[in-house]
Amino acid sequence: MSTFTIRCIPTAVSRSRSPQNVTRDDIMEFTLDGEQVGDDPRTPYSERHIHGALYELRPDLNAEVHHHARPVLPFTMLDIPLRPVFHMAAVIGNRVPVWESQHEFGDTNMLVDSMDMGLSLARSMGQGKEVDPPGETVWRLG
């Protein structure tokens, strides 16, 4: 199984800690299945499976960002796909698909904490740049 290492400091691949406290030393390495490489005793984020699933299904990716930006969260709670409404928003594409875990996985804790869920979310993105699960946003950049 190949592994991926993120060379920047995104919280989704750091050990589990507040984003403002993350340093380079907090970065952890995972297989594409979201399993830790080595015997690192630190606690990883449970939603790390999103990253491996995206890289597995989208070999064209060079980077991606998973965030919970407060200004975007209200829009993720609607069952209406986001669309760009002015020229600066065109980077998101024509439509942003909505992914709801409940349709495939029933009642959950709303975390993408398994590879099956990560792959389902990644498939819903298709070749787009973003997918909106309720309560969070995943962007594909580059």
Catalytic residues: 47
Q: Report yes or no: 118 and 101 within 8 Å, Cβ to Cβ.
A: no
Strands (E) located in 49-88: 63-67
For residues 10 and 98, what is the distance between their CA atoms, to the nearest angstrom? 23
Give the pair of three-digit tokens for residue 51: 């990253």
> What would the DSSP string read from start to end of 124-140?
HHTTSSEEB-TT-EEEE
Q: Report yes or no: 58 and 140 within 8 Å, Cβ to Cβ.
A: yes
For residues 13 and 7, what is the distance between their CA atoms, to the nearest angstrom? 10
> Phi and psi at residue 65, in whole multiples of 5°?
-130, 135
